[in-house]
Chain A
Amino acid sequence: MPEIRNYTLNFGPQHPAAHGVLRLVLEMDGEVIERADPHIGLLHRATEKLAESKPFNHSIPYMDRLDYVSMMCNEHGYVMAIEKLLGVEVPERALYIRTMFDEITRILNHLMWIGTHALDVGAMTMFLYAFREREDLMDCYEAVSGARMHAAYYRVGGVYRDLPDEMPKHENNKFRNDAEIAQKNENRQGSLLDFIEDFTDRFPRMVDEYETLLTDNRIWKQRTVGIGVVSPERAMQLGFSGPMLRGSGIAWDLRKKQPYAAYRNMDFDIPVGHNGDCYDRYLVRVEEMRQSNRIISQCVEWLKRNPGPVILSDHKIAPPHRTGMKEDMEELIHHFKLFTEGYCPPPGEVYAAVEAPKGEFGIYILSDGANKPYRLKIRAPGFAHLAAMNEMVKGHMLADVVAVIGTMDIVFGEIDR
């Protein structure tokens, strides 16, 4: 009788399927997982400590770099917390712009997720399809903020600037001929809103394409159905949120239950899963892309009809306009004070949460009345999800670990902070 014993397998820290720097110590019995111990923190940058040493406004760009595939949603959580602390009301147009960009961000995130998840499980094509649409949405980011990923577009009291009237176009270059450039510029003739509207018209067909590739795909179903099952009770006990919670059959969505921005005026549905396995969570996220698309088109329609200010005119919080500074002493002083010292909110503590693509992204700010937060805590959805890794993979095969990492939609920027 040969001796059989468990052995330990080191998965990562650098592994293409680990979605970043995750070190998983797996205790295996043959190919079956007995225990999984994720070691995290390899991307820890002490964002919270850095934020404590800076005025409130300086930390907005750090928020982009947390969950670096859903940038604007993180910014939204942060500025909402500060606005709650300051007790300011954001102009309505800014709320709609934020809603629209939150949903653009959700599609961006889900496209990234579906591409990498499918790639990990073995479907190469999906990745190429998803990145085709991501390109258009990142152009939208670029059009409003100048940056394709780390936008820093949301500001306390609104957004940095109004939507541009003209969508930037592709320029002539030596890699493409004129006909190709003209074709690429076809939907960029009007404003940014026209471009987004054109996207929302096209996008449902794209989602159909993704579904043709995956939904009834035999291999995809073999790899995801019945893998990583979480019951509704366990999902709550484990602190799940977002699609991870809805995949287990709990219809909880902050956009509906505790609406913020302009979500209370939006018409959309919350998809819910039945079995709580990887396949259900896949279906939930795919449906969420369709619902996001609906929200975006409602926002586009509203924004086309309703011009207005996009940021507060209180210059103690939002910077004054540059032309005003040239003429008005008051404006100049405001500008100087705002950029050298910032603003001091009242002492107190607030928690603001948004429904980020991965789940509940919360910001807890404890203020002692200074121009910097006394304590900033970032509640990242992925942190709670990854903590459940051991429970979700126990008894599964090694290959299923990859499927579970994929279904959790993990990004280490937010987990390690």
Chain B
Amino acid sequence: MTDSVSSGSKARHNTLAKTLASEFETLGCAVKHEFSEVTLDVPGGSLLEVASRLRDDEAFQFEVLVDVCGVDYSAYGNSEWVTNEASSSGFGRGVESGGDGHRGEGERFGVVYHLLSISLNQRLRVRVRVDEAQPIVASVTTVWKSAEWFEREAFDLYGILFDGHEDLRRILTDYGFVGHPFRKDFPLQGNVEMRYDAEKGRVVYEPVSIEPRTLVPRVIREDNRYLEESQQRQDPADA
């Protein structure tokens, strides 16, 4: 995509990355510019200040909060199929689910905000990391009203709490659901299943009877093409 529209947007995002770096680096924020998208990593304490400045400052004008999404980094970089021992143990493809026990770096949870500026036609991703012991992030509902349901969703699926949210209830899961299903330690097939019990005359919950299985193992390839590319991507000329 090398025509005027996308090159115009590339130039805009270059300036955006520079402005962000000069404005927010004193607050401990880090700016990343990859895949022609700008990411701003914000420490939890200054989220509200950064958010309201991103909305109101002339240089940013991010009027729309497009999306809020929770992330559980605890299994980041976890590969289920490390093939180092394949020659000694034969070519068995059986995989124990759970992977190599690799734990992602940094705090366990992240909240990712996607912002859009309609006036300046630019996008920004803002990320906050929180630890497992106290997964509390300031709610941005006062800055963007649309955060209300998105934060409820992140709470429901990951158990991340949003300080200042007026109505932090579950939203997607069933009434009376236990656990936070999108956490990496929550099994894909769930913990309980339900059926109608004719004798009792009501619906009963039982431990799940489906066996977990891996159809395609999770593989991470050390690909030289991408190693070179990622060095290029962080080229100062691009950022």
Contact = CB atoms under 8 A, between A and B. Distances in A.
Interface string A381-417: 0011011000000000000000000000000000011
Contact of B223 (A239, A346, A348, A417): A346
B181 interface: yes
Interface stretch (A46-54, A101-109, A136-144): A46-54
Interface stretch (A120-128, A267-275, A358-366): A358-366
Interface string A68-105: 00000000000000001101010000000000000000
Interface in A215-264: 236-239, 241, 250, 252, 257-259, 264
Nearest to A58: B216
Contacts of A40: 171-172
Given A46-B181, A342-B216, A239 B35 contact: no
Contacts, number: 136
B118 A236 contact: yes
Interface of B: 1, 3, 5, 9, 34-35, 37, 39, 63-67, 69, 71-72, 75-79, 112, 114, 118, 121, 123, 125, 144-146, 148-150, 170-174, 181-182, 188, 215-216, 218-221, 223, 226, 229-230
Contacts of A84: 35
Interface in A333-386: 340-342, 344-351, 353, 360, 362, 364, 366, 368-372, 374-375, 377, 379, 383-384, 386
A417 B150 CA distance: 13
B154 to A, nearest CB: 10
A61 interface: no
Given A239-B65, A252-B118, A384-B149, A351 B218 contact: no
Nearest to B177: A41
26 contacts: A40-B171, A41-B174, A46-B181, A49-B181, A49-B188, A50-B188, A53-B188, A236-B63, A239-B146, A241-B66, A342-B216, A346-B223, A346-B230, A348-B34, A349-B35, A351-B37, A351-B114, A366-B71, A368-B76, A369-B220, A369-B221, A371-B216, A374-B75, A377-B112, A384-B149, A387-B148
Contacts of A360: 66
